Structures are given as C-alpha cells and as structure tokens.
C-alpha cells in the first residue's frame, strides 16, 4: 500500500472549517483514500473514503486532486468534539486489503 504524509499537528478555531492535507504521491490506480480519526483513548472512527471523485457525507468532505497524489479532508464547522488525531490511509480493496496507520495529524480545535 502507498505511504501517506501528513502534518503532525494543526489548530482550528471552533466554528471554522478545518482543512487537513495528505500527500500520497505513490498511490496506485486501484487504491482508495481513507480517513479515520481517533479521539483520545477511543478506537479509531471511520470518517470518509474516496477513489477519484470528491466525496461528502454528514461528517466531512474529501477533496482528491485530479492526479490523486494528494487529498484534503474538510470538516466544515469544527467543534471542540472534533479534537482528535486524524489518519489518512491509502489502501486497496479486496480480501487481502488492510489499513496501515501512520502518525496522523493531531487537530486541536480551540474556542
């Protein structure tokens, strides 16, 4: 699976949009981009995933560049409860697919 690069930490004011970048320049054509987050002491939580098109759900939006070498997770209106470590993961699908977690981005949402 392709490796990802994320900034170690970011701050965001409550109510503002949080834009979390991820580089995955070695992504293969059949690999998806997944985002998970881990709130302190809890198990990781799935947020969103995409292949090439931009995706949106009730939690966030995922913007993938046309060359698929990078992506951005957008939390449109961050709240204090969004403070967490956010992981960007690239993985193929299929029986043998698995998630390899890096160090992620620690997002701190402040008042």
Partner 1 sequence: DAGVIQSPRHEVTEMGQEVTLRCKPISGHNSLFWYRQTMMRGLELLIYFNNNVPIDDSGMPEDRFSAKMPNASFSTLKIQPSEPRDSAVYFCASRLQGASSYEQYFGPGTRLTVT
Residue 70 touches partner 1, criterion: CB under 8 A: no
Rounded distance, CA 72 to CA 33, Å?
10
Distances (CA, A) of 38 to 26, 28, 31, 83, 84: 25, 26, 22, 9, 5
Binding part of the chain for partner 1, among 1-9, 21-29, 33-41, 71-79 by CB under 8 A, reads 33-41
Which residue in 8, 42, 66, 67 binds partner 1 (CB under 8 A)?
A: 42
Nearer to partner 1, 56 or 93 (CB): 93
Count of residues engaged in binding partner 1, rule: CB under 8 A? 22
Which of 5, 32, 34, 41 minimizes the C-alpha distance to 21? 5
Two tokens, residue 111 = 């008042």
Which residue in 30, 56, 79, 100 binds partner 1 (CB under 8 A)?
A: 100
Residue 5 touches partner 1, criterion: CB under 8 A: no
């Amino acid at each position: 699976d392709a490796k990802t690069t994320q900034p170690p930490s970011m701050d965001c004011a409550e109510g503002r949009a949080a834009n979390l970048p991820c580089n995955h320049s070695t992504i293969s054509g059949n690999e998806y981009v997944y985002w998970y987050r881990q709130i302190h002491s809890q198990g990781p939580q799935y947020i969103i995933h995409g292949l090439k098109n931009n995706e949106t759900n009730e939690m966030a939006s995922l913007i993938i560049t046309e060359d698929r070498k990078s992506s951005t997770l957008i939390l449109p209106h961050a709240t204090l409860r969004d403070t967490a470590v956010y992981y960007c993961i690239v993985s193929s699908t299929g029986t043998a697919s698995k998630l390899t977690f890096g160090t992620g981005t620690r997002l701190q949402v402040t008042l």
